Every structure is written in structure tokens, then in C-alpha cells.
Chain A
């Protein structure tokens, strides 16, 4: 700021200053909550004894707080006012500040999503460490009350599923990479994603703050009528997950439209990158199933604040389970389908060979997507008759066939190739190995006879961690190492990368493969105490789990270090043909100076022809 002196030419109008957006958002959220909460609690719906917080007041207060947060972060000037035709100048943040502000640049948004997800990952990871500490003893010792342990499990699962599993590879990498991969400089609705990303920290905070309203003991599934036994923490579970799923829904609308309409010239459907196919499949799942679960959660909230009896004991207790798992199984494929797609993206580059049976890879993704709507009841076999189980058992086992296509495509690609063993390829191979174990044990679990024995034991815990950590988190790490030179123009240290990969592999496989055995030997889920004969194995598992936690931390530090001060590297270190590598690394504000034209396959590594061309002068347009 300069001070005007007499005699100076008139200064240009002083730029309007606003508070740092995050601070303003927090402030408005706080004010919104207080005002609306007090309005409801004291004026509109006062309850006996005038409590400061009531069930209705906290729900409406939360809605106001979330609105205040989104408006404060920049939604007011950039979305709300313009939609009423009022234009205001909004100083665009620069430098590192743009990552803490409303930004319409899809690369900034991608990083914002990735950082939020990583934050959620380590917060939920901390919860997991606390659980493992408790489980090192066979009696209550670390947590004073059983409910606190179960609540920790619930917070862990909820944040992992809804802010990491469904977010990192879609909102994070999807927002960053999809526009570049299809040769566009922006996503279809930049303002929508610019706002939706800020719902993620809001959702995570809501779930973390849930203990303020009291205990909830339902785990990540929010089961009703079980939750009716607890005080009100479950409200913040429903609302937090509502925010997180809304964010994913907005991302999916945006990315679907981006893929449909922002493709570069010549990028026909049979040239579309595998990752774009994966994101399309996932987005369709999101567009159908997220509204479904959102309404279910809203009904569950209404059960408390009105109250209505939908899912209570006098209502229809099994309905919540049905409605939850109707979404719940597609949810697990929402998590893992982008990971399959990333395998098929990384492996041909590393193998220097065309992607094998590409169409079958796509067919696999699409069939997995469709079948995932027919299997939900395998989570409820203990509540069903045998005749009802059989169709679900059948479809569940069938779904492993299109899943197998992803394996076939990758193995066919590696077959007799000039394979380069790099850190990303190592992580992809580890991911494939681990997901294989997860998927095969899933087929066992789909068998009613086995399921009735193993349901709610640690065998199931091991199964889904092999699919989710093994399938998705290992692939996330692969993707971070693979695209690190893209994000930063720098390279990781390969020795440290290999060390990080082996470290998490040992920690993960050690901890979770023992859980299969432990489950078979009678270790139940959702209980902090267990018979003494299981203590030895639990201690070993906990030690492996701590190793795993430290391993993730090590990879985080290594990746962060490499992004900042790794060795500088050429633009396209993997000699990949996909479009995102045809830009500078890190990409400029506008990724492509001139719109690229796609002229060949991205996965054709037999020859060294270019897969694209960049017109020097914009030619005549034809469509």
C-alpha cells in the first residue's frame, strides 16, 4: 500500500481488501451457527429447561454454518451475487494463497482436494492407531468406556470412506488430470468444483466434532435403529457425510460433462484414455447412488428432529440397512474403479507396449459398475432367508468376472514387454497383488455358508482393507509417484521410493493378513475386548499397524519433499503419450497454449509416432 502524496497523479482505485478467505469462512460459519442455533433453540422451538443446543437447533445451525463457510470462502462474490446479476470485484489470490481461496483453476482445485483427502487420511489414521492401542490388551484399558472405542472406529471408517476413498482419486486426481488428459484447459463447470472442494474440510470437521453431541456407536454405516440408543453424535455423522457426498456429487456432474463436451479435436470415444473411462463409470455411480444415500441420511435426521418413526423400532428397522447397502456396495466400487483405471493408465507406459485388449478393460469397468447395483444384500445375509440370499450370492460372485478383466488387461500388457520397474510400477504391482487377496476373500464371503460364520469378524475387516487400502490407497500412492513430475517438474528419489513401497507393503500385509487368521479364530468386530487367547496375535497386528502408519507418514514426507526440492526432471520423464504429459511440467496456468488435435492412440508404444499434434495456427473449423 502506498500513501498518496499531494501532487501525485490520482491513484488507481484502491483494490478492495478482504480477510483471508479461510478465516472469513470460519468466522461466518461461526456466526451463522450461533445466530440460527439460538433462533431455533430459544425462539422457534424452545424445549424444556431452555438448553443451548437442541436436536433441531444444531441441525439448522449446522446448515447455516456450512452456508456461511461456503459464502465466506468466496461463494458470495463469485457465485451468489453474480447469479442475482450483481458483479463485484473479487481480488484473485496469487501464489500459495490461491490454495487457501476460491479458485476456478482445475489444477488448484485438484490439489485442494488432494490436500483435504490427505488431511482426512492422517486424521482417520490417528484414530486407527488409537484403536490398535486399545486392542493390544484384552480388557478395557486405553479407552475408559467401550462406546468411546466404537466411536473411534466409526470416525475412522467414516472419514476414510467418504473423504479419502471416494474423494482422492475422483475429486483430487480427477479434477487435476481429466481436463488435461482430454486436451482441455478447464473443466466444464469450474465454479461448481471451486465451491464443492470446500465441503470436504467442512464434512471432515463435522465428523470430528461429532463427540461434542455425544457418543454414536454405529460405525461408518450409521445403522438405524441402533443409533436411537445413543445420544446425538450421530447427527453430525449424517450431516458430515451429507456434506462430503454432496461434494462428490458435484464433482461427478462436473467431470461427466467435462468428458462429454471438452474433449480435444480427434479425441473420439475409442481413443478416450482409460482413466477418463474410469471416471465416467464412477460418476454415473455417484450420480445415481449419492442422492439415494443423502435422502436416507436426511430421513434418519428427520427421525430425530421431528421425530418421525421411519427407521425406529415402531417403524421398519430393516429398511435403513437396505437403503444403506443399496448405496453401500456401489460405494465400494466408487472407491476401486478409478484405481483399476489408473493401473491401465500407468502400466502400458512402463511396459512400452500397447494396452492389451483395451475394449475388454472398458467393458469390465462398465459391467462392474452395472452389477454393483445387484449385490447389496450380501451385507445382510444374517438377516435373510436362504432363498433370498441366493440371487445376491450369485451376482456377488459374478462381479469378480468383469473385475478380472482389469487383471487380464494389465497382465496381457506386461506379457513379453520391455517392462520398466519404477516406483509407480512397483506400487501398481503391489496394489494388484493385494486387491487379488481382497477380491478372492470377497468371493468366499459371498457364499452364505461361510458368510454366516464370518460376518462381523475380523475376516471381513481384513477383506475390505485388502480391497480398499490394497486396491485404492496403494494405487493412490502409485499415482502420486507417477504424476509427481507432472505436478512439480521434479522427481522423487528412487531409493526412498522403493523403501517407502516396501515399508508400507510389509506393514500392510503383515497387519491385515493376520486379521484373516484372527477372524477365523473368533475375533469379533465392534468390540474392544476379546478372549485372552487372542491377545498375542493382536499385539503383533498392532505392531505391524504402527509400522504401516509410520510408512504412510514416510511416503507423505518423501512426496512433499520431492515436490519441493527433488531433482529437476525433463517434461515427460516416462515418455508417456497421454495428453497431460504433452504440457510443461508443472503445467502453466493454461495447460495448452493451443488446442491439441489427437491423431492416434495414446497407448500405442510399438512405434514412436506422436499421438497428437498441435496446430500452429487455428485452422478452419469442422465438426
Chain B
């Protein structure tokens, strides 16, 4: 780093500060996600403690698969939104986030549907973990959607500037996190 300064690249104080600020935000976000993954580890554990590898035959893999596919597409659009905002393209970010919100909203709604109309006995060991785990995913999904909606409103109102860019990125990455955790849960709850 010192060498770089010596080479005379025009590095102002605020430049360095904003770089530190970026590193700070990214690391804090990583720590936050680490903390937020603890509940998922727990719920996966609880399932194997409670009911081993049992999967009820009545479970509807297809609905689960459809919502998983929808959510995975919304993951891709969220990543695309990140790319847009990195190029300073606020309108593109908003468009991509609209798609993410739509697909993510439908996917989350379908999860909610499975909470209400499930073919499981909630008093069974598999049933209780299924409901609690899907419930966790729905709650985290709703938070993610709220964060995305906030980002969308923000970009509409105040646009993208270099300082604000990271905030948009991180709201999309949070959505990516919720989708990845859901995919893990889908595999765990429906397949393994």
C-alpha cells in the first residue's frame, strides 16, 4: 500500500477513507450473515435430532420445486441488479429489483401457502420441524423483501452515488443469502 502511494497514484485522504469504509461495510455484512446462518444450522440440526432422515410420502415436492426455481431466478436477477448498480445504473437496478421483488414475492407466498395447507400433522416430529423451518425462511424472506423494497424506493428517490452504491448492493446480497439458505432447506426438508 505504501508503495502505491509512493508511486504517486492520486490517492487523497477521502479516497482511502472510502476504501476503508467499503471494507468495513463488507466485513460487517459478512459477520452479520455468519450470525444469521446460526438459526439455519440449528433448525437443520433440530430436524435430524427430532425425526432423523424421515420424509413423509405426502409431502408435495413439486410445489417446493417450483418455488425453489422461482427463488433461484430471483437470485440471478438480484445479482444482475448488483452488476447494474456497480455501473452506476440506477434505473437498471430498479428494473432488476422489480423482477426480484415479484419472483421473490411469489416464491415467499408459496412458502406461506405451504405453511397453511400442509399435508403434515404438526404434532409429528417431522411436521413440527417442517413448519418451524419453513416459517423461519418465510420470516427471513419477508425481511429480505422489505429491504429490497426499501432499496427500490431509495434508488427512485435519491439515485445512485458512489457512497450510496454499497447499500444497494448489500440489500441485494441479503436477498441472495435468503435464497441460498432456502435452497439448502429445500434439499434438507424435501429430499434428504
Residues in B neighbouring A4, C-beta threshold 8 A: none
Contact A188 B153 (CB under 8 A): no
B16, B36, B38, B50 pick with most chain A CB within 10 angstroms: B38
List CB contacts (< 8 Å) of A216-261 with chain B: 249, 253, 256-257, 260-261
Give the CA-CA distance A622 to B9 in the complex, in Å: 12
Asked whether A291 is an interface residue with its Cβ less than 8 Å from the other chain, the reply is yes
Residues in A neighbouring B24, C-beta threshold 8 A: 188, 257, 260-262
Give the CA-CA distance A620 to B163 in the complex, in Å: 23
Contact A315 B128 (CB under 8 A): yes
Contact A295 B39 (CB under 8 A): yes
A261-B23, A308-B132, A316-B49 known; A249+B39 contact, CB < 8 A: no
Give the CA-CA distance A595 to B20 in the complex, in Å: 15
Contact B2 A260 (CB under 8 A): no
Contact A260 B27 (CB under 8 A): yes
| The residue from A86, A262, A291, A621 contacting B39, defined by CB atoms under 8 A apart | A291
Asked whether A309 is an interface residue with its Cβ less than 8 Å from the other chain, the reply is yes
Residues in B neighbouring A296, C-beta threshold 8 A: 42
Residues in B neighbouring A84, C-beta threshold 8 A: 149-150, 153-154, 157
Asked whether A506 is an interface residue with its Cβ less than 8 Å from the other chain, the reply is no
List CB contacts (< 8 Å) of B35-66 with chain A: 35-36, 38-39, 42-43, 46, 49-50
Contact A621 B11 (CB under 8 A): yes
Give the CA-CA distance A290 to B34 in the complex, in Å: 12
List CB contacts (< 8 Å) of A577-623 with chain B: 618, 620-623
Asked whether A292 is an interface residue with its Cβ less than 8 Å from the other chain, the reply is yes
Asked whether B192 is an interface residue with its Cβ less than 8 Å from the other chain, the reply is no
Cβ of A74 to closest chain B Cβ, rounded Å: 18
Contact B2 A85 (CB under 8 A): no
**Closest partner residue, chain A, to B153 (CB atom):** A84
Asked whether A481 is an interface residue with its Cβ less than 8 Å from the other chain, the reply is no
Asked whether A487 is an interface residue with its Cβ less than 8 Å from the other chain, the reply is no
**Closest partner residue, chain B, to A319 (CB atom):** B49
Contact A249 B31 (CB under 8 A): no
Asked whether A89 is an interface residue with its Cβ less than 8 Å from the other chain, the reply is no
Asked whether B122 is an interface residue with its Cβ less than 8 Å from the other chain, the reply is yes
Give the CA-CA distance A314 to B49 in the complex, in Å: 14
**Closest partner residue, chain A, to B157 (CB atom):** A85
Contact B131 A306 (CB under 8 A): yes
Give the CA-CA distance A83 to B50 in the complex, in Å: 40
Residues in B neighbouring A257, C-beta threshold 8 A: 24, 27-28, 31
Chain B interfacial positions (CB closer than 8 Å to A):
1-2, 5, 11-13, 16, 20, 23-24, 27-28, 31-32, 34-36, 38-39, 42-43, 46, 49-50, 122-123, 125, 128, 131-132, 135-136, 149-150, 153-158
10 contacts between A and B (CB under 8 A): A84-B153, A85-B154, A189-B28, A249-B35, A261-B20, A291-B35, A295-B43, A299-B132, A302-B132, A309-B128
Nearest 9 interchain pairs by C-beta: A85-B157, A85-B154, A261-B24, A291-B38, A257-B28, A84-B153, A308-B128, A623-B1, A83-B150
